[in-house]
Structure 1
Amino acid sequence: MTTIPEYDIARQATCPLDPAPAMRARQEEGPLTRVRLWDGSTPWLVTGHAEHRALMGDPRVSVEPMRGIPRLSPAEAASMESMTKEGSRGIGFIMMDDPDHARLRRMVTSAFTIKRVEAMRPATQGIADELIDKLLAGPKPADLVEAFALPLPSLVISNLLGVPYDDHDFFQANSRIIINRNSTPEQRGQAQQRLAGYLDGLLGEKLANPGDDLLSGLVERVKVGELSRPEAAQMGVLMLFAGHETTTNMITLGTLALLQHPEQLALLRESDDPKLVASAVEELLRYLTITHGGLRRVALEDIEIAGQVIKAGEGIVVVNEIANRDPSVFPDPDRLDLQRNARLHVAFGYGIHQCLGQPLARMELQVAYLTLLRRIPTLALAAGVEQIPFKHDGFVYGAYELPITW
């Protein structure tokens, strides 16, 4: 009888930007294997790039907690049980199947079109330059997260939504509770309620005095009965949370990766080619892939794939970071190569749940990396990599701090 290995996403301290060694080992066994979770369940683990895209694009696969998606920790299991009893499906539409998912998502897609996002580039550049001015005028060493990586996307998403940036400490503190896989159901539920209550209050203000922002757009949907006010508040929570937490960690880890690869850093800093800059961001997204722990799904019907049959009701764990290191798609996948064609990466997921805000994230990353590298040509780490506190405890991987000097 073959022993089913434990699900292990622990990264090596010596290679904190690489996927877990156990994930590499599973990928070498095949694109679709079984793993054992803490509760004894044995979902399918998807490590192959082609299988990742096939399953994430398959309507026979569900993301809804009440259908029995895998739980990666006791705390998460308790939270999902609590959500199921309350009839909740989590934050916004990311844990909904179509048609509910499509109905809600459609209401905000226009805010994230490439044309709308490009119109935000000058303002984003202005924010980046102002933050760098303050950074250079302050003491060194400094923390890149606090000085730049966190406020840049937070200011951008606050402006887009119509949320006062002065409240960023409040929503960041609650966001961290929600994404921590060890948060109890009570802690996660209270954090969600605090954020939903906060967004509901803002929606009330927009009802009285609408502006030219995304929340005001949701208010118009509420007025005509297309959206309930609680739904609008939850959508606001989702976008506020997703709009700063993910990009913050990409700016942080991307900067670290570039500092560890000075020849690649020089290539990006000295380039005047927008295509190379865009390509560099895609490669950093592939190389780093900050979604951490795997995307959970459950099969609604039997699915034949990679010589296996995933039976209806069986759990599926799809790991973005290891799919992005699949050598059959990305030769020499552990090498950072900013000139690589990495456009097939799955850092934003795939299928109907592919990240809605990816045009915004791409634009922010292009601005962030170039501004940092060009404004601070002597940028350097102010601590050894072994001293950097990485985020091993959440669904978004990153670093709590990144000490830098110049």
Structure 2
Amino acid sequence: MLTVTQALEQIRESVIPFEVSEHPLESALGLTLGEDVHSTVDSPPFDKSLMDGYAVRISDVESGSATLRVIELVTAGQVPQHTVNWGEATQIMTGAPLPAGADIVIKVEETQRQGDHVTIAANPPTANTNVIRRGTSIRTGSRVLTAGITLNAHGMGTLAELGQSMVRVRRRPRAAVLSTGDELVPVTATPERGQIRNSNGVMLTAQLEAAGAIAVNLGIARDNREDLAAKIAEGLKYDLLILSGGVSAGLLDLVPSTLAEAGVRQIFHKVEMKPGKPIWFGQRALSTTPTCNVFGLPGNPVGSLVCFELFVRTTIKRLMGAEPSNPQPLFARLEHDYSTRADRPTYHPARLTWAAEGLSVTLVPWHGSSDLCGTVSANGMVALPGEPRQFRAGDQVESFAW
């Protein structure tokens, strides 16, 4: 049986990132850059004032005091028309270009204006006081953003500053969710004896969208080959097909064999972990259609949740070219004692808290893979070893944020 690390490596080796294509910047939030971005401009593009005040020569105000003649007013968007010479000042607004001859700005709160003269009473200034020089933030030709990063709001703002109205990115994957089982009924139905609502369909669709995919819920496939095969055929039209249930070793666990009949090649089945041991992963690759990456997740909801966060999210990142694509552990201080007696590595739902003293974590009360309600207060999980161990409050434990 594969370890979690081995399963993640098989996903990385099997999943090929999408091709890079151009995309409008305005709708690129959450997409992954397909190539490095280098600046074609300096930023700022000119020496400019960081304050409302007066642009002066530092030699005129070395002591912090002086009375100077004001020669013009320059606001943001205007270009200075005069050079600041000895004994002169230009009134200037935040963001306006620094006039020739001036090398610092005295903020307006440290001045008094009388007619066309200004009296300065400030601390002795230093070079570039209240001024940002051309190219301080970005130099022409420098790398600004790196391939593999996911675009956020300030990354998009930076690209807009550079005039990048189109960006080269990898698209979002299209994903289908299919729940399996005769016991399932829609969320809107009242379950009869022996039935449960299809919570996995809603949960997995939400997880896909939160991870950056475009998701569609295909509903429920019943425990017969005809219905399951028909719905799998529909799901294989997508980049990702996520099934829940039917992947273990029971009489009606028909998913692996039905996927094989549909031409899906198994890459691995079962991983040494808890919850989520029965997880199945494979691919159907045809010359006429894009590759479909297929996951069979456990029917128990927390098993599906955990397997998604470890394996499906990794696949989405890999398809979109995000680096790193594998789950990134966080080491947190355990807030309480805890004993584990599991025979497999366990991913226990937990509450991560960020504070001034660092990251801490509390394991939430949880009753196993069917206890989805127990995860409501969780925002991550703790990886516990597959052997008896006594943890003490204050120990550092490997954690993952959701």
Larger Rg: 2
Query: Relative contact order (C-alpha < 8 Å, sep 6+): which is higher?
Result: 1
Q: Give the TM-score band, short-chain normalised.
A: under 0.3
Q: Normalising by the residue count of structure 1, what TM-score does the alignment of the two structures yield?
A: 0.20
Q: Normalising by the residue count of structure 2, what TM-score does the alignment of the two structures yield?
A: 0.20
Q: Which has the higher helix share?
A: 1
Q: Which has the higher strand share?
A: 2
